[in-house]
């Protein structure tokens, strides 16, 4: 039996149910991984078959874990059968449905309604009401569009057109979001599950401890390192928080960090893991597919902003540790010994990069890496049949919420395409931009963060890219910069109140105040909120400039700016600083980040004045020993 399938029931019947559900989950993983490996199935057919398995599992799984208890268990089984039949209709009648796309049968229409309602319900169970409400409003807009004011009016749907838009063509429930979910996302979630069962997470933590041994704030730096490494493969910042935070947060608290600071560091680092190449939680491959550009272009553009993100988080940890005088234990495993013992567990990640570098498709590269994990485990720490079975169950259990969210996003995107709402929103944003392009970007940022609240980052990115990216590209911004802009804010929604899932998860582990944790997480991630606004205007930070001198200057000022901002956020740089000193540092760092030469020079001058103040113990800026708290 899989240990994660807990149940409040007792007795043989309950055990039989849990075991049966675990076998079902493992079978789903086998099918999806096999279908992606052989690549023989037509995309819409493969998506339909996968959803015919995943959605029934979602109904049954959530009903046993308390999220569907308002329904009698027998009704959950009925819903599971109904939604499976709705998607199997596409599987078994695929050619006939393609022939009658525009004029669907009554059975197609019934199947479409069942599929849509089922997706809305399972999404609600996993993520709450926000996304299902947006999808429901979208459907309402589709049906009532002919009654709206002229600016937002359209012809209006009937059941036949709804079925065509969402069900009988490669859009809606079978559009980009669900298709990507059953290929890229599921496979990379599976890779993460196999790496976890192989013991890679434990070894990454051991390696991080060894390399931060004896430094200031070593326990917190372990969280930063481990989250950056594991978060890039994980498809969820929350999963990253839970996976690494259950080890790192207690270590940070024991070292002397406040509970809310420990939780905030873990939430920010785990969220940043999905911004870190080479995988970016599968976001790099999705972005390459949406933009139709080589994967290497995405990595080149994404690498430096991600490094800046972790520079400010790492330095914030270091400065906070200096301020509180927190050192890590000097005893422990030597770095060379730790690298020798733990390094082999990172070989699968290097293999993945190598396969992608020689132009192996990402899905196939990830599948080869999954197989390699099993083979390598026989050398390092053998994965028996029970561990492989558990990894397959983990894959389905972790991927199911993401697939449900992507299916719901598919409904919204299908509705926007079918009603022309995407074009209307684009026109509105362009008119808004005539007043100020900065205001248009701020509005775009707000829309992306709202769409991303409560959703897995990859699902949020796909949805937000469909809504916001085309408009910003029309405004003249570089497409790759626009998509990274959207990707950043879709991820940052996980540390942005009121629905900051990563922060909630971390504060739960740390037993800290969620609001205070959220505020600290925002301050730690402040640079990440600024960076997209900078690189979308001047893509030099995305390494897109052909001028080497300009590139070097921009990189140097950006690194210096992030370091100074980190000092301002923590209240320590060379020495303890006052509130006024912190404001001066943040202003100086912000000026250094702006890619305009005279503003950067102003930042250098401001910092020069600050440095002189620290040398002369100028009390309005520097805290004297007796003033320190």
Q: Is 601 contained in some domain?
A: yes
> Final residue of a domain: which of 517, 542, 567?
542
Within a domain: 354: no
Question: Do 464 and 477 belong together in one domain?
Answer: yes
pLDDT tens-place string over residues 193-211: 998 888 887 888 888 878 8
If asked whether residues 171 and 273 sit together in one domain, one would say no
DSSP letter string, 394-444: HHHHHHHHHHHHHHHHHHHHHHHHHHTHHHHHHHHHHHHHHH-HHHHHHHH
Q: Supply the pLDDT for residue 142.
A: 92
Residue at 401 is within a domain: no
CA distance 67 to 268: 28
Residues 125-166 pLDDT 10s: 888 888 899 899 999 999 988 888 887 888 888 899 999 999
SS3 498: coil
Q: Within this chain, do residues 477 and 515 fall inside the same structural domain, yes or no? A: yes
Total-model pTM: 0.85
| 525/488 Cα distance (integer angstroms) | 11
The whole-number pLDDT of residue 624 equals 57
Tens-digit pLDDT profile for residues 54-109: 999 999 988 755 454 455 677 888 889 999 999 999 999 989 988 877 788 999 99
Q: Are residues 47 and 155 in the same domain?
A: yes
Same domain, 160 and 205: no
Question: Do 537 and 551 reside in the same domain of the chain?
Answer: no
Looking at the structure, do residues 424 and 309 belong to the same domain, yes or no? Answer: yes
- With 50 as the cut, is the pLDDT of residue 43 above it? yes
Q: How many residues does this entry show for the chain?
A: 629
Backbone conformation region of residue 332, classed left if phi is above 0, alpha if psi is from -120 to 50, else beta: left
Q: Do the domain assignments include residue 188?
A: no
Provide the domain count of the chain.
Answer: 3
Predicted pLDDT at 4: 47
More confident position, 163 or 11: 163
Alpha-carbon distance 252 to 304, whole Å?
Answer: 28
Query: Domain check: are 450 and 515 in the same one?
Result: yes
- Domain membership of residue 529 (yes or no) is yes
Q: Are 177 and 406 in contact (CB under 8 A)?
A: yes
**What does the block give as tokens for 314?**
């790492």
Distance between terminal CA atoms of the chain? 52
Please write the tens of the pLDDT for every residue from 506-522.
888 888 888 889 888 98
**Claim to verify: residue 40 and residue 151 sit in the same structural domain:** yes
Same domain for 450 and 566? no
Q: Which domain holds residue 22?
A: 12-177
Among 146-150, 508-512, 593-597, 619-623, which is the least confidently predicted range?
619-623
Q: Which residues, listed in sequence order, are joined to residue 575 by a DSSP beta bridge?
A: 573
32 and 113 in a single domain? The answer is yes
Q: pLDDT digits over 260-284, tens only?
A: 988 999 999 888 888 988 888 788 8
Q: Which of 49, 351, 88 lies closest to 182, judged by CA?
A: 49
User: For residue 573, what is the enclosing H or E element?
Assistant: strand 572-573
Q: What share of the chain is helix, strand, coil (3-state, %, to 5)?
A: 80, 0, 20
Last residue of a domain, one of 525, 542, 559: 542
Secondary structure (3-state) at 330? coil
Q: Kindly state whether residue 357 falls inside one of the protein's structural domains.
A: no
Q: Does any domain span residue 389?
A: no
Last residue of a domain, one of 132, 162, 177: 177
pLDDT at 10 over 60: no
Give the pLDDT band of residue 1 (cuts 50, 70, 90): very low
3-class secondary structure, 472: helix
Q: In three state form, how does the secondary structure of 204-258 look?
A: HHHHHHHHCCCCECHHHHHHHHHHHHHHCCCCCHHHHHHHHHHHHHHHHHHHCCC
> Which of 6-20, 162-176, 355-369 is least confident?
6-20
Model confidence at 476, pLDDT cuts 50, 70, 90, reads confident
426 domain residue, yes or no: yes
pLDDT of residue 282: 81
> Which residues are CB-contacts of 484 (< 8 A; sequence separation ≥ 6)?
287, 301, 302, 305, 532, 535, 536, 542
The CA distances from residue 489 to 12, 443, 525, in Å, are 48, 12, 11
Do 612 and 534 share a structural domain? Answer: no
């Amino acid at each position: 039996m899989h240990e994660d399938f807990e149940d409040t029931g007792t007795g043989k019947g309950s055990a039989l149910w849990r075991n049966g559900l675990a076998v079902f989950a493992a079978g789903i993983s086998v099918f999806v991984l096999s279908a992606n490996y052989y690549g023989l199935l037509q995309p819409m057919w493969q998506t339909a078959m996968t959803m015919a398995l995943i959605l029934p599992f979602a109904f049954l799984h959530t009903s046993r874990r308390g999220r569907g208890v308002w329904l009698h268990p027998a009704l959950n089984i009925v819903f599971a059968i109904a939604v499976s039949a709705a998607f199997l209709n596409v599987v078994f009648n695929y050619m006939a449905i393609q022939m009658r796309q525009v004029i669907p049968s009554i059975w197609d229409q019934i199947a479409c309604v069942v599929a849509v309602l089922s997706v809305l319900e399972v999404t609600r169970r996993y993520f709450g009401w926000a996304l299902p409400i947006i999808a429901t409003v979208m459907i309402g807009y589709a049906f009532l569009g002919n009654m709206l004011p002229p600016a937002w009016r359209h012809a209006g749907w009937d059941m036949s057109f709804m079925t065509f838009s969402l069900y009988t063509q490669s859009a809606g429930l079978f559009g980009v979001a669900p298709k990507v979910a059953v290929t890229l996302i599921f496979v990379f979630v599976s890779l993460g599950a196999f790496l976890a069962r192989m013991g890679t997470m434990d070894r990454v933590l051991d390696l991080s401890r060894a390399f931060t041994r004896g430094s200031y704030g070593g326990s917190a730096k372990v969280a930063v390192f481990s989250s950056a490494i594991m978060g890039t493969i994980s498809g969820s910042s929350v999963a990253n928080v839970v996976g690494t935070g259950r080890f790192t947060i207690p270590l940070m608290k024991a070292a002397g960090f406040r509970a809310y600071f420990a939780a905030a560091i873990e939430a920010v680092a785990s969220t940043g893991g999905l911004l870190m190449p080479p995988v970016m939680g599968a976001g790099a491959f999705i972005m390459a597919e949406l933009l139709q550009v080589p994967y290497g272009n995405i990595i080149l553009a994404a690498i430096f902003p991600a490094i800046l993100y972790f520079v400010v988080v790492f330095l914030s940890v270091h400065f906070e540790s200096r301020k509180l005088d927190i050192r890590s234990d000097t005893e422990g495993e030597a770095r060379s010994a730790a690298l020798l013992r733990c390094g082999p567990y990172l070989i699968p990640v290097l293999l993945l990069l190598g396969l992608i570098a020689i132009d192996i498709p990402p899905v196939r590269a990830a599948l080869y890496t999954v197989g390699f994990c099993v083979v390598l485990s026989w050398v390092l720490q053998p994965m028996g049949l029970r561990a492989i079975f558990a990894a397959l169950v983990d894959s389905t259990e972790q991927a199911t919420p993401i697939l449900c969210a992507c299916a719901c996003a598919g409904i919204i995107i299908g509705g926007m395409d079918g009603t022309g709402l995407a074009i209307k929103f684009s026109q509105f944003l362009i008119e808004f931009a005539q007043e100020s392009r900065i205001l248009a970007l701020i509005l775009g940022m707000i829309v992306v963060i709202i769409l991303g609240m409560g959703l897995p980052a990859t699902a949020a990115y796909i949805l937000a890219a469909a809504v916001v990216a085309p408009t910003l590209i029309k405004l003249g911004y570089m497409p790759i910069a626009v998509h990274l802009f959207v990707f950043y804010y879709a991820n940052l929604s996980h540390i942005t109140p009121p629905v900051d899932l990563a922060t909630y998860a971390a504060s739960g582990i740390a037993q800290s105040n969620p609001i205070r944790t959220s505020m600290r997480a925002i301050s730690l991630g402040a640079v990440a909120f600024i960076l997209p606004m900078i690189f979308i205007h001047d893509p030099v930070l995305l390494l897109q400039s052909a001028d080497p001198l300009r590139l070097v200057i921009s990189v140097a000022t950006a690194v210096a700016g992030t370091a100074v901002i980190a000092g301002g956020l923590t209240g320590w740089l060379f020495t303890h600083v006052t509130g006024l000193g912190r404001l001066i540092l943040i202003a100086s760092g912000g000026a250094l980040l702006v890619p305009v030469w005279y503003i950067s020079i102003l930042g250098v001058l401001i910092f020069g004045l600050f440095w002189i103040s620290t040398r002369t113990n100028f009390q309005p800026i520097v805290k004297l020993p007796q003033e320190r708290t």
